[in-house]
Amino acid sequence: MELKERKDIPKEYIWDLESLYSNLEAWEKDYEKAVSLANDFLKHKDKVTASSENLFNTLKDRDELYRVVSNLYTYSRMKLDEDTRISDSQALEDKGLNLYVQVEEKTSFLVPEILTLDSNTLEKYYTEKEELKLYKQYLDDLLRQKDHVLSAREESILAQMGEIASAPHQIFSMLSNADMKFPVIKNEEDKDVEITHGNFIPLMESKDRNVRKTAFEELYNTYYGFKNTFASSLSGDLKKNIFMSKIRNYNSSIEASLDENNVPVSVYDNLIKSVHDNLDSMHKYMEIRKRALGVEELHMYDLYTPIVKDADFKIPYEEGVEIIKKALSPLKEEYLSAMEEGFNSRWVDVYENRGKRSGAYSSGTFDSKPFILLNYHDTLDSVFTTAHEMGHSMHSYFSSKNQPYVYSGYSIFVAEVASTANEALLMDYMLKNVKDKNEKLYLLNHYLEQFRTTVFRQTMFAEFEKTINEHIENGGALTADYLCDTYKKLNELYYGPNIVVDDEIAIEWARIPHFYYNYYVFQYATGFSAAIALSQQILKEGDKAVERYLGFLKSGSSDYPINVLKKAGVDMTTEEPVDNALTLFRQLVDEMDKLI
C-alpha cells in the first residue's frame, strides 16, 4: 500500500500541535521572549546566594526561562518529525536546538554558585523566605553531591575535556558503524544480501537455520578481526569513568554513576543476585525452545527465531484502543478518564505518512499535551506500542498536573515503569481472553522474550560491566582475550546446559554500544521488574494498590526515585521486586511447557 502524504491523513489521527503554538508567528514571539529572558538571567551572576530573596528569584526566573525554551524546542522537534523532508521544519528545529545550547551556556553559573552554600545558611534562608521551600528537594539534591564537585576552575577544566572524554565511544561508533563491512550471504530466497546492523536481527529471526548460522558466524568473525581495537576503545572509556570517579572522591565508578540518581549500589547487586537465584527457569525456557524448534542441539543463533508460527492478529487502531481501555480498567476511573481524554483530544499522531519519523515515542512539555508519535500498523506489536507510549504520556500528564514545574519531570531510573506496567496489564488481559491455542502460545512467547531480553540479558550485561570495571580498578588489564573469556562464561552461566554457547558469542561485547553508557543497562531490568511488581499488586489488591500507583505517577521528581517507588509499594533496595517478577516468569515458562 502506498504511503499517504501528511495532508491526506484525517485530522482526528494527527496530533494537536496547534494547542502548543497556533502558528509560526506565535513560536517566533516566544522565541524573542526566551532570548530576552536568557539575557536578563545574567543579572543574577555572582549574586545567586547573596540572600534568600536572590536565591528564590534566580530559581523562579530559571523555571520561567526553561519553560519557554522547552516549549520552543519540543515543538520544533515534533514539527520536524511530522515530515522530515521539509526544509523550513529542519531550520526551525536547528534554531530551537541552538537556543537551548545558548541558554545552557548563559545559566551555567547557577549550580556552582548554589554549591557555595552551606546547610546552615540554607536553613536560615528557608526560615526567612517561606516560598523558597518549594525548591528544597532540588537544592538538597544538589548539595547532597557537594563533596563530589570540584572548584570552579577544576570543573571548567573537566568540562573542556568533554570532547576528549567522548573519544573512545566515537572510535567505537566509527569503527562499528562506518568502517566495518560485513560479508554477503544467501538469504531465504537464495539471494545475495550483505549483513548490516539493521538486518542482522531479521536474519537471526529467519526460519532457515542455515541463514541464521551463516549470518551469526560471519558477523562475529568480522568483529574478531578487530577485537584488539574494540578492547582498547572500551578500556579507554572505562578508564575515563574510573578517573572521573576518583577525581570526584567516589570509591568506585559504579558508586559515582548510581549516585546521580541517589541509587544505592546494593540495588545493582540485588538485581544480579535475584537473577542468579532464578536462572533455573531460564535454563528450562531454553529446553522448551530446543524442543519447540525440534533441534538436536540448540545454538546461540536459534535464540531469535520464533518458536510459535505467527498468529494472525489483525487489529485496526480503533479496536486496539478499545482493547487497551479494557486491559487498563483495573486502574480505575481517574486514570481511565484521563486516558480517554488523551485518545479523544488528539494526543496521538497515529499513522505513517511520507517523510514521518519512524518508531514511536511520548513527548511534550509542562504546558503541552503529553503527545504520542506512532506509526501504527494493524498488528499486535502496534497495540503494545500504543499501550507503552500511553503509559509514558499518562506518567507525564499526572506529574505535570500535580507537581510544580521544577519537579514535573521524572528520573531515568523510573522512566520505563509506567509504560511497562501498561504492557503487563495488557498482556494479562489478552492471555485471560485469548481462545485460540496458537494465539495463546504466541502471546506467551512474546512475554517470555520480553523477560529474556529485558531482565536476564540486560542483567548479564550489567554483571559483565561491573566485572570488567572491577578488574581495571584492581589493577587488571582489559585485553581482548580477557573480555571474550569473561563474556563467554557469563553466557554459559545465564543460558545454561540446554544450549551450545558457540565460540563466536564471546566477541558479542564488541558490538554493544551500551557498554559505553556507564552503568546504564541495569535500569532496563530494574524498571521492568518494578513495573511487573506494580501491575501484579494492581491486579491482586485492587483499589489500595491503584491509589499507591497513582501517587507514584503524580510524584514526578519531588522525591528520589527509590523513595517514589517505595511509596508505590516496591522497595528496589530489597530483592523482593525482582524475585516476584521472576516468579511470574517461572509461571509463564511452566504454562508454555504444558502447551508445547
Above pLDDT 90, what percent of the chain? 88
The amino acid that residue 520 corresponds to is Y
- Return the pLDDT at 152: 66
pLDDT single digits (tens) 235-245: 999 999 999 99
Alpha carbons 322 and 90: distance in angstroms, whole number? 36
Least confident of 97-106, 217-226, 393-402, 471-480: 97-106
- The pLDDT of 45-54, averaged and rounded, is 97
pLDDT level of residue 112 (50, 70, 90 thresholds):
confident
**Which residues of the chain does CATH 1.20.140.70 include?**
6-160
Report whether pLDDT(1) > 90: no
The amino acid present at 581, given as its one-letter code, is A
Q: Distance (Å, rounded) from C-alpha 77 to C-alpha 60?
A: 26
348, β-bridge pairs? 372
Residues in the chain: 596
Beta bridge partners of 184: 194
**Cell numbers representing residue 575 in the block:** 530483592
Residues 448 and 586: their CA atoms lie apart, in Å, by: 9
Residue 234 or 152, more confident: 234
* Residues 465 and 519 sit within 8 Å (Cβ to Cβ): yes
Q: What three-state secondary structure class fits 455?
A: helix
* Sheet strands (E) in 364-473: 371-373
The catalytic residues are 389
- How many other C-beta atoms lie within 10 A of the C-beta of residue 179? 10
Continuous segment of H or E residues that includes residue 302: none
Q: Mapping DSSP to helix (H, G, I), strand (E, B) and coil, where does residue 453 land?
A: helix
Of residues 55 and 179, the one with the higher pLDDT is 55
* CATH domain 6-160 topology: Butyryl-CoA Dehydrogenase, subunit A; domain 3 (1.20.140)
Across-strand partners of 349? Answer: 373
In this structure, what C-alpha cell is assigned to residue 430?
A: 489478552
- pLDDT per position as a tens digit, 75-94: 999 999 999 999 999 999 99
Q: Output the CA torsion sign for 369, 372, 378, 383.
A: negative
Domain 238-331+379-596 CATH superfamily: Oligoendopeptidase f, C-terminal domain (1.10.1370.20)
DSSP 8-class letter at 416: T
- Could you report the per-residue pLDDT of 140-196, keeping only the tens digit for each? 999 998 889 887 678 778 877 877 888 999 899 899 988 999 999 999 999 999 999
